[in-house]
Amino acid sequence: MEIDNITTPFGRRSMTLAMLTSQINAHEALEGKAINKWQVCRWLCAGKAAIGISDRSLAVLDALVSFYPETNLSKEHSLVVFPSNAQLTSRAHGMADATLRRHIAALIECGLILRRDSPNGKRYARRGRGGEIGEAFGFSLAPLLARAGEFERIAEQVHAEAQALRHARQQITLHRRDIQKLIEAAAQEGISGHWDVLWKRFRGIVEAIPRRAERAELERIAAELQELRCAITKLLQTHVNQQNISGSESQNERQQSNSNTETYIESESGMEKDLKENPVENRQIAKSSYPIELILRACPEIGDYAPHRIDSWRDLATTAAQVKNYLGISAPVYEEAMLNLGPENTAAAIACILQRASHIKSPGGYLRVLARKGRAGEFTVGPMIRAALKANGTAARVIE
């Protein structure tokens, strides 16, 4: 850039380093560039918050740009416009003179226009014999051309952010509708499950949505609702699958009505009776040697499915019996686990399986393997608790 291209303000206005930097950057980036003047204004309008300019200041900028005779901003044509304050006020919808000066100062401060003052502070242009502008004094639009790429990137970022925010809100709306109607359908059909617990969890998420939220917060809420929706859908899908195969399963169960497993469908007393009749297996079944507090610390997710707080092994066993449906564990597999592991170990195992459900392809098959180990006297719930504690990042006591 040539030194004689730098200009200083007229009168008492002082020259600043920021004004000097704006002039240097503007003139160095002009070579070979051309851009539609109204496109630049649209980009500025979209990114006004990021740029730090107000609507009123942009209205003044639009008025200034309207005095530029060409459609495209280019160095080939003079980038200086020289309207009077009266002309600017007319095109700025009658803005007061003092307000006009304030917004012009804001445009200069943001680096959107430059002052090119004449010796006497007036705005005018010297024209050649053919009418072409030789030298003009007023406001230079060179920064708009020089920073056009920057304004385009900002506008694209703002558009992408608005689109992501709109998508997050849409996802929340869809998940809210689906969850509400799925729970209502399950309740109307009388499908077994802790639907009141799921409903309270749903309402807790919804009521925590702030009136004005950032995109990241809305995306987090949408993810929570999606997780809850998937859990509800899986419960209903399991119920539908069980209905589809109920005929064949019931036939098989009738053929095995005299088996030991059948006595453990709904009654703990029946299980105790069978254990008395099978002392060998009875010796293999033991109560859990770990406190229930440790189980809940390792596997906190099972607490979300309990109708009330889990304070005892009976509460945990009741909740685990319901969770098996969510995990897709069939009744025969559950009964086999109850027979060979015992109620407490079975409840603890199901709690661990639920906690690690995303890493277990077939919870039913996994529990069946544990039940067979229990039958052989080779099962202990300790490794499962250690794995759950490690996954949660919880410092565990040594579990032998």
pLDDT digit string, tens, across residues 157-180:
999 998 998 999 999 999 999 999
Residue 103 has, within 13 A of its CA and on its CB side, a CA count of 22
CATH architecture of 3-146: Orthogonal Bundle (1.10)
CA gap 384, 211 in Å, rounded: 42
pLDDT digits (tens, 9 = 90+) for 223-246: 999 999 998 888 888 877 776 655
CA dihedral sign, ordered 141, 142, 145, 151 = negative
pTM, entire model: 0.50
Task: Please state the rounded mean pLDDT for residues 139-145.
Answer: 88
pLDDT band at 332 (very low <50, low <70, confident <90, very high): confident
DSSP character string of 91-141: HTTS--HHHHHHHHHHHHHTTS-EEE--TTS--EEEE-TTS-EEEEEEEE-
Res. 328 pLDDT band, cuts 50 70 90? confident
State the pLDDT confidence band at 349, using cuts at 50, 70 and 90: very high
Sign of the alpha-carbon dihedral angle for 242, 244, 248, 254: positive
pLDDT (mean) for 364-383:
88
Residue 4 confidence (pLDDT) above 70: no
Amino acid, res. 210: P
- Asked if the model's pLDDT at residue 342 lies above 60, the reply is yes
Size of the chain, expressed as the number of residues it contains? 400
Tell me how far apart the alpha carbons of residues 67 and 116 are, in angstroms, rounded to a whole number: 16
For position 156, what pLDDT does the model report?
A: 93
- Token duo for residue 162: 């608005």
Q: Which pLDDT score is estimated for 44?
A: 92
Q: Grade residue 266 by pLDDT with cuts at 50, 70 and 90.
A: very low
* Rounded Cα gap, residues 322 and 342, in angstroms: 17
Among 63-77, 257-271, 327-341, which is the least confidently predicted range?
257-271
Residue 156: partners with Cβ closer than 8 Å, 6 or more residues away: none
The predicted structure's pLDDT at residue 225: 92
Q: Is the pLDDT of residue 399 over 50?
A: no
114 forms beta bridges with 140
Q: What SS3 class is residue 80? A: strand
- Alpha-carbon span 397 to 393, nearest angstrom: 13
Find, among 320, 329, 309, the residue nearest to 369 by Cα: 329
Output the pLDDT for position 8. 58
Q: Please state at what angle helix 37-46 crosses helix 55-66, rounded to 10 degrees.
A: 180
CA distance 368 to 372: 6
pLDDT grade for 61, boundaries at 50, 70 and 90: very high
DSSP letters, 278-310, are -HHHHHH----SS-HHHHHHH-GGGGGG-SS--
Residue whose C-alpha is closest to residue 140's, from 106, 114, 161: 114
pLDDT given at position 210: 85
Return the number of other C-beta atoms located less than 10 Å from residue 5's C-beta.
12
Average pLDDT, the chain: 79
Looking at this protein, which amino acid is placed at residue 251? Q
Measured distance CA(217)–CA(352) in Å, rounded:
30
- The tokens for 86 are 């009266």
Instruction: Please enumerate in sequence order all residues whose Cβ is within 8 A of that of 354, keeping only pairs 6 or more positions apart, or say none.
Output: 299, 301, 302, 305, 323, 326, 327
- Tell me how many helices (H) and strands (E) the chain has: 19, 6
CA distances from 263 to 233, 272, 365 (A): 31, 10, 21
What's the pLDDT at 350?
A: 92
Every domain of the chain and the residues it spans: 3-146, 153-244, 259-392
- pLDDT of 247 above 70: no
CB 328 within 8 A of CB 233: no
Cα torsion 7, 10, 16, 19 to 10°: value is -50
- Please report the pLDDT score of residue 223 as a whole number: 92
Average pLDDT estimate for 115-123: 80
Query: Collapsing DSSP states into helix, strand and coil, what is residue 55?
Result: helix
Structure tokens at 235: 């419960």
